[in-house]
Amino acid sequence: MTSGLMKALLNTRMLICIFNGFTAGLPLYFLSQMIPAWLRTAQVDLKTIGFFGLVMIPYSFKYLWAPVLDRYIPPFLGRRRGWMLITQILLLLVMLSLSFMNPQMNIQVILYLGLTIGVFSATQDIVLDAYRRELLPDQELGLGNSFYANAYRISGFIPGALGLILADYLSWNWSFVIVSLFMLVGIIHTFAIKEITQDVMPPKSLKEAVIGPFKDFFAKDGVKTGLLILLFLFFYKFGDVMATSLITPFYIDVGFSMTVIGTVAKIVGLWSMIVGGFLGGLLMYKWGINKSLWIFGIVQMVTILGFSVLNELGPNVLALGVVVGLEYLGVGLGSAALMAFIAQNTNKNFTGTQLALLSSFFAIPKSFAGMLSGILIEGVKASDGIFFFVFGTMNGVGYTYFFYICTFLALPGMILLCWVAPWREKKNQTQVSA
């Protein structure tokens, strides 16, 4: 096992996952961290900056055009590498174009450019996810996905840290140029890797590319199992998503300063996720995906209770570090296992569309978790407009009981594991994971 693990850790497939993860994360953090900071320093109002969040919408609907990428092959580099190169060059050009913009004069143009980056970035994600699934053998899915996810998160330091520092010492224009040029890492890497053609049969028509992924998914183990998998994807991290949806306001309400939140909570949370993702990959290589889903699911469910304890203790910095560290360790473990499970349940002939669809499906709770959390915590009053119209008067449960509820909401996903990923794996799965 040790020898096999070391070979898996040191092979070139893991290195490819790292570079692809970095390239995928860079434009997302460029949109979510660097551009909002730029707009705010240019005195753009918060409502406009909040509206700018619409540029992230393409990530939720990328499955709509994924069949096109599965079906059509560019005239150079192959089906996956060709689309990688196209999206990466387009991302580089559009990101560079922002260095010529002035937020006070070109705010609408900036919004359109941001939306364009969102479309190209989501398209790149489709291709990189598909390539990763076609690259990795089943026994390396957990490890490869954890490397990819951690590199994705680490890439946030380029636009979210280096970009902001450069803006202080140079200018925003040069900061955008330098950060954008990091897309060259992905472009060079795309030329260096090889196209995956073994065991892959691309769809022969657009109709097959659209219908085939859905037909194949439900035909694999039956419609009932397919529906149970979709339910599982929705519920496995539901409690976790609810618990962290309003986490920064929670820290503020407990009494922590912005400095403590920005240093202790955010930094500890980030590195705990990275450690969790890496550790999750190692453990999945040893235990297999099914057992890991059970164990990691229990960890991510139990660690939610730490926030209830923190709420009762008050603004204790040491307790904050411990609670955040444990919670986001669970987040990293659970996320690594879930992504490996999704990859395992896709067909290499339709990886682009199936991965785009399934990854979009488990992201659905993020769309309404914040609103639902706010209602549970604060309740609803007659002056709350549309919320009062829909829910009527409700008493809030407060933070402590809210986190109890979040822990309970993690149970459906664990129960569904009995059907979609039983502890005792099928014989062929066990042989692959051993």
Q: CB–CB of 153/24 below 8 Å? A: no
76-107 pLDDT, tens digit each: 988 889 999 999 999 999 999 998 988 888 88
Domain 209-434 has CATH 2.60.40.180: no
Predicted confidence at residue 431, as pLDDT, reads: 36
Per-residue three-class SS string for the chain? CHHHHHHHHHCHHHHHHHHHHHHHHHHHHHHHHHHHHHHHHCCCCHHHHHHHHHHHHHHHCHHHCHHHHHHCCCCCCCHHHHHHHHHHHHHHHHHHHHHHCCCCCCHHHHHHHHHHHHHHHHHHHHHHHHHHHHHCCHHHHHHHHHHHHHHHHHCCHHHHHHHHHHHHHCCHHHHHHHHHCCHHHHHHHHHHCCCCCCCCCCCCCHHHHHHHHHHHHHHHHCHHHHHHHHHHHHHCCHHHHHHHCCHHHHHHHHCCCHHHHHHHHHHHHHHHHHHHHHHHHHHHHHHCHHHHHHHHHHHHHHCCHHHHHHHHHCCCHHHHHHHHHHHHHHHHHHHHHHHHHHHHCCCCCCHHHHHHHHHHHHCCHHHHHHHHHHHHHHEECCCCCHHHHHHCCEECCHHHHHHHHHHHHCHHHHHHHHHHCCCCCCHHHHHHHC
| Cut 0.85: pTM above it | no
- pLDDT value, residue 388: 66
pLDDT digits (tens, 9 = 90+) for 384-423: 666 666 666 778 888 899 999 999 999 999 999 999 888 8
Please, what is the average pLDDT of the chain? 82
CATH level 3 topology of 1-202: Growth Hormone; Chain: A; (1.20.1250)
Q: What is the pLDDT of residue 9?
A: 61
Here the tokens at position 51 are: 């509206």
Residues of each domain in the chain carrying CATH 1.20.1250.20: 1-202, 209-434
Q: Which residues of the chain have pLDDT under 50?
A: 427-434
Q: Give which of 69, 60, 116, 125 is closest to 93, Cα–Cα.
A: 116
pLDDT at 170: 86
Q: Are 400 and 419 contacting, i.e. CB atoms less than 8 angstroms apart?
A: no
**For position 177, what pLDDT does the model report?**
94
